[in-house]
């Protein structure tokens, strides 16, 4: 639909300013987007495009200026921007990797648009199918098992599902295949027809000309005006971006064809590839093309030692085995991934460290890094690649996406590779720097190096490469060289490549369909439960064969009573570990409550006394939970440091109140706590019911899903409207209240105000959670898993006693179980990632 210029603007950013230290990212920039228009936002890397959109979406707070969405003012509040109808697809999808696709879509749309949880699967499947009927993305798949392209599609589907008034697309096509780019353009046409204002950021000038009605140009943080696209030539747009006329010519190609090959690969087979043979000459750049998923990327990754494969490979005549990336780098190959965020940069390390890590040996003298030499090399490379940065010591994540890519290329070149393996060399890089990168790759080749480049841009391959190999179904279907290396020839070779190999085709389609149902099952939070249940049963059966007393009701009853305390403590720990926290004060909190109860419940029993003791339990637990949260959230201490301080303080309080064990608990209270249902203690029944209810909440309620989302990626969760501070407070309070509940069966066990009663439960609760499938990094595990972890620990302790083993064996076995559990759980998750 034609832009509606009379309606109030869909988005107005008025005189917006933003600085990061010395870097003036935006200097009084104004952008007005009308309903129903596609507005291109263009500029070189670091011009300020993402910052401006970050401000529009509320993720970044400006220093000055105003933002209006649909006429309503909003600043620095992602939740409000979302409510006003803004949706954004960022350069890196704002998804929570440990959550499923369906859960991400659910959290990612406004509350009014969310289905009931029972409808979640069909609702998400419907959204995905609306994108593409034959999509291979499963609603139940965990996001960290998806390819980067699939993650982008999920993020786009999420943004479209928001029915936005303003849709921001920040370099959306960098990771998409051409058929998905077409689909995206169809979707853009659909939403603008409905009156949505779309902001389209891209370095691909052709795309911008094709899709945009108007463009606004940014240069070095300053607005350079808004223009109607109609009548604006490609050259003129480039001139507006760069500020001067630029030659868009590729540097001249060179080759030393009569020298022996630098890299020879013969009959190489492996994941997604079949029988590939190539010879790369010194000074040559070979391009790999093809419809995405046809093996060209798999082949490059196999050469980098990242994908397993078989065949003969030699570099400079010397045979090489490529089982590991280390083999490839030792042979002189340097790989640059197309997934910069996940594989190429260390976000929290400085720009200098990211530059030097592939070639640090050059700066080491006598085992010590010479930072002056490291800094000098980094400065030279950053200047040669025209990287825009504040200070070299800033973390690389402070750079714009394109500038990060330039640092990665500089880092690989600094290692002086014999063969450079580059997947999408100019992803997210602006037009001026693109030419700079082509020039540098060509210069490297002219000096005797060589490169293999995968690119989805046929024009780029045509301009840069001496030869282009077109892949189809894992094999080289066509080779273009000399005069034939043109954009049109490459595109037509891709379209006509019909190399049908049934066997490999089946393999390739299996690979593109993602991991099998069984491997996907291994990555679920339920897999650890099955594994532990099997181990518990096997261990029980083994002990029962050796000692018939093991199966007695008396033994079971005692064991389950012990388990109740540990299982509740483990549930407490799990509640906090879900958001990536850890609570070392769990044990002493249980101890301090036992001690306080020994004052309230030791004399004759009264109704008021019982109510008082329950209130005291809850008040102590909530005070401790709130105190821990204050130390972590507003004060900013690491959870381990904060809760270690609370651990010491609580233990001190227990010892002050009861220097030695004293204050026998009233017998009637003990009888109530220790009631049995048959031979099963009532406390154990309660624990199981509590764990099942908590798991229901964790997987089937908004609060539980958002807790896991926070643990998975706090930034993405915040952008999905989840308040990190509030969610963490809920986790800390849940942890302390559950620890308070755990002190009830503990009271039933010790029966007296013992100041040391809880101390062991801190480490044991962490162990139970880890064994049960929980992760110290957050987002993983379940409450039933934590209970099963506790059962296994208790069972090992009892079994060692029955088997007549010393107490030391309990400690050895617990240590071994933790290592085995972590190894098994993480291996099963990796299996899925490997597909």
Q: Given the complex with ligand ATP, which of 60 and 458 has the nearer CB atom?
A: 60
Q: Residue 92 has which token pair?
A: 């890196």
Q: How far is the CB of 45 from ligand ATP (least distance, A)?
A: 3
Specify the DSSP element, H or E, that contains 40: strand 38-43
Token code pair at residue 769: 């959670």
* Closest of 421, 540, 590 to residue 796, by C-alpha: 540
* Residue 20 or 542 with smaller CB distance to ligand ATP: 20
Q: Dig out the tokens for 463 from the structure.
A: 């301009």
Identify which of residues 86 and 265 has a Cβ nearer to ligand ATP in the complex.
86
Nearer to ligand ATP, 400 or 564 (CB): 400
CB of 53 to ligand ATP, least distance (A): 8
Give least dist CB 402 to ligand ATP, A. Answer: 3
- CB closer to ligand ATP, 49 vs 780: 49
Residue whose CB is less far from ligand ATP, 382 or 531: 382
CB of 39: closest distance to ligand ATP in angstroms? 15
Distance in Å, CB of 389 to ligand ATP, minimum: 6
Give the three-class secondary structure for 68: strand
Using CA atoms, how far apart are residues 580 and 578, in angstroms rounded to an integer? 6
CB of 718: closest distance to ligand ATP in angstroms? 15
- Per DSSP, the three-state class of 714 is helix
CA nearest to 535, candidates 776, 764, 773, 783: 773
* Residues lying near ligand ATP in the complex (CB under 6 A): 20, 23, 25, 43, 45-51, 388-390, 398-403, 428, 430
DSSP output for 562-610? HHHHHHHHHHHHHHHHTTT---TTHHHHHHHHHHHHHHHSSSS--HHHH
- The CB-of-395 to ligand ATP minimum distance in angstroms stands at 8
Residue 395 DSSP class: B
Which C-beta is closer to ligand ATP: that of 107 or that of 408? 408
Query: Residue 36: which residues within 8 A CB-CB, separation 6 or more?
Result: 1, 2, 3, 4, 192, 193, 195, 196, 197
- The smaller minimum CB distance to ligand ATP, of residues 29 and 642, is found at 29
For residues 669-678, b (16+ Cβ closer than 10 Å) or e, as one string? beeebbeeee
Minimum distance from CB of 394 to ligand ATP (Å)?
6
Q: Report d(CA 788, CA 796) in Å as an integer.
A: 12
Report, in Å, the least distance between residue 388 CB and ligand ATP.
5
Cβ 430 to ligand ATP shortest distance, Å: 6
The two three-digit tokens of residue 733, written as one number: 């309070």
- Per-residue tokens: 755: 């100041």
Least Å distance between CB 456 and ligand ATP?
Answer: 18
DSSP codes of every residue in 264-331: EEEEEEETTEEEEEEEE-TT-EEEEESSTTSSHHHHHHHHTTSS-EEEEEEETTEE---SSHHHHHHT
164 phi/psi in degrees, rounded to 5? -75, 155
Q: C-alpha 154: how far from its chain's center?
A: 14
Q: Are 465 and 286 in contact (CB under 8 A)?
A: yes
CB of 76 or CB of 697, closer to ligand ATP: 76
Nearer to ligand ATP, 26 or 731 (CB): 26
Q: Which is nearer to ligand ATP, 47 or 320 (CB)?
A: 47
To ligand ATP, the closest distance from the beta carbon of 439 in angstroms equals 19
Four-CA torsion 263, 266, 268, 273, nearest 10 degrees: 90
The DSSP result for 93-156, as a single string, is: ----TTSBHHHHHHHHS-GGGPPPGGGHHHHHHHHHHHH-TT----TTSBGGGS-HHHHHHHHH
- Report the residue number, 336 or 757, with the smaller CB distance to ligand ATP: 336
* Other Cβ atoms within 10 Å of 243 Cβ, number: 13
């Amino acid at each position: 639909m034609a832009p509606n210029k009379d309606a109030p603007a869909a988005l107005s950013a008025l005189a917006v300013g933003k600085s990061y230290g010395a870097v003036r990212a935006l200097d009084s920039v104004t952008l007005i987007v009308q309903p129903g228009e596609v507005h291109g936002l263009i500029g070189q890397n670091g011009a300020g495009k993402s910052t401006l959109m970050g401000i529009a979406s509320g993720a970044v707070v400006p220093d000055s200026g105003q933002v209006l969405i649909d006429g309503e003012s909003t600043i620095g509040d992602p939740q409000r921007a979302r409510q006003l109808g803004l949706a954004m697809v960022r350069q890196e999808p704002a998804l929570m990797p440990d959550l499923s696709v369906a859960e991400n879509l659910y959290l990612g749309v406004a509350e009014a648009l969310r289905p009931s949880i029972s409808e979640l699967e069909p609702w998400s499947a419907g959204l995905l199918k609306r994108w593409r009927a034959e999509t291979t993305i499963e609603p139940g798949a965990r996001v960290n098992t998806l390819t980067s392209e699939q993650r982008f599609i999920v993020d786009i589907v999420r943004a479209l599902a928001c029915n936005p008034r303003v849709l921001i697309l920040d370099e959306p096509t960098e990771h998409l295949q051409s058929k998905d780019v077409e689909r995206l353009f169809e979707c853009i046409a659909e939403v603008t027809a409905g009156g949505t204002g779309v902001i389209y950021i891209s370095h691909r000038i052709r795309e911008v000309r094709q899709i945009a009605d108007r463009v606004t140009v940014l240069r070095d943080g300053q607005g350079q005006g808004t223009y109607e696209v109609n009548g604006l030539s490609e050259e003129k747009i480039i001139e507006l971006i760069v500020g001067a006329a630029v030659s868009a010519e590729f540097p001249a190609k060179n080759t030393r064809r009569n020298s022996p090959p630098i890299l020879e690969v013969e009959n190489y087979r492996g994941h997604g590839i079949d029988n590939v043979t190539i010879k790369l000459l010194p000074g040559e750049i070979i391009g790999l093309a093809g419809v995405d998923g046809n093996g060209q990327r798999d082949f490059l990754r196999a050469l980098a030692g990242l994908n397993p494969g078989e065949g003969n490979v030699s570099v400079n005549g010397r045979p090489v085995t490529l089982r590991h990336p280390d083999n490839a780098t030792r042979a002189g190959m340097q790989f640059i991934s197309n997934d910069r965020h996940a594989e190429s940069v260390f976000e929290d390390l400085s720009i200098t460290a990211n530059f030097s890590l592939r070639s640090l040996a050059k700066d080491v003298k006598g085992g010590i890094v010479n930072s002056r030499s490291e800094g000098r090399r980094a400065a030279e490379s950053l200047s040669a690649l025209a990287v825009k940065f504040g200070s070299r010591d800033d973390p690389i994540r402070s750079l714009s996406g394109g500038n990060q890519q330039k640092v990665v290329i500089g880092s690989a070149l600094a290692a002086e590779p014999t063969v450079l393996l580059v997947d999408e060399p100019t992803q997210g890089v602006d037009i001026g720097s693109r030419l700079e990168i082509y020039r540098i790759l060509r210069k490297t080749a002219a000096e005797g190096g060589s490169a293999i480049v995968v690119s989805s841009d046929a024009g780029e391959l045509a301009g840069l490469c001496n030869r282009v190999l077109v892949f189809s179904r894992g094999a080289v279907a066509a080779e273009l060289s000399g005069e034939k290396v043109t954009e049109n020839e490459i595109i037509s070779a891709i379209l006509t490549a019909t190399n049908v190999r049934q066997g490999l085709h089946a393999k390739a389609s299996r690979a593109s369909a993602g991991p099998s149902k069984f491997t996907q099952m291994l990555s679920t939070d339920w897999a650890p439960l099955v594994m532990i249940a099997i181990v518990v049963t096997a261990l029980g059966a083994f002990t029962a064969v050796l000692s018939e007393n093991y199966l007695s009701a008396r033994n079971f009853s005692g064991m389950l009573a012990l388990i109740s305390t540990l299982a509740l403590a483990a549930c407490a720990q799990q509640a906090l570990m879900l958001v990536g926290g850890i609570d070392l004060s769990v044990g002493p909190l249980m101890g301090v409550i036992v001690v306080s109860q020994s004052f309230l419940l030791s004399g004759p029993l009264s109704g008021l006394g019982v109510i008082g003791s329950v209130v005291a339990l809850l008040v102590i637990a909530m005070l401790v939970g709130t105190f821990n949260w204050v130390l972590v959230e507003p004060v900013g201490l690491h959870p381990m440091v904060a809760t270690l301080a609370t651990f010491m303080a609580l233990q001190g309080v227990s010892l002050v109140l009861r220097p030695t064990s004293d204050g026998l608990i009233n017998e009637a209270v003990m009888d109530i706590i220790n009631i049995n249902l048959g031979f099963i203690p009532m406390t154990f029944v309660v624990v199981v019911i509590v764990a099942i209810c908590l798991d229901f909440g964790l997987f089937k309620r908004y609060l539980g899903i958002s807790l896991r989302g926070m643990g998975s990626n706090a930034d993405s969760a915040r952008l999905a409207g989840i308040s990190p501070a509030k969610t963490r407070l809920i986790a800390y309070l849940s942890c302390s209240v559950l620890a308070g509940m755990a002190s009830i069966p503990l009271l039933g066990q010790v029966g007296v105000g013992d100041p040391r009663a809880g101390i062991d439960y801190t480490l044991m609760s962490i162990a139970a959670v880890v064994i049960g499938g929980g992760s110290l990094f957050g987002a993983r595990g379940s409450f039933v898993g934590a209970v099963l972890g506790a059962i296994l620990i208790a069972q090992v302790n009892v079994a060692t006693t029955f088997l007549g083993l010393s107490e030391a064996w309990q400690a050895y076995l617990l240590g071994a179980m933790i290592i085995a559990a972590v190894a098994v759980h993480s291996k099963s998750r990796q299996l899925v990632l490997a597909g």
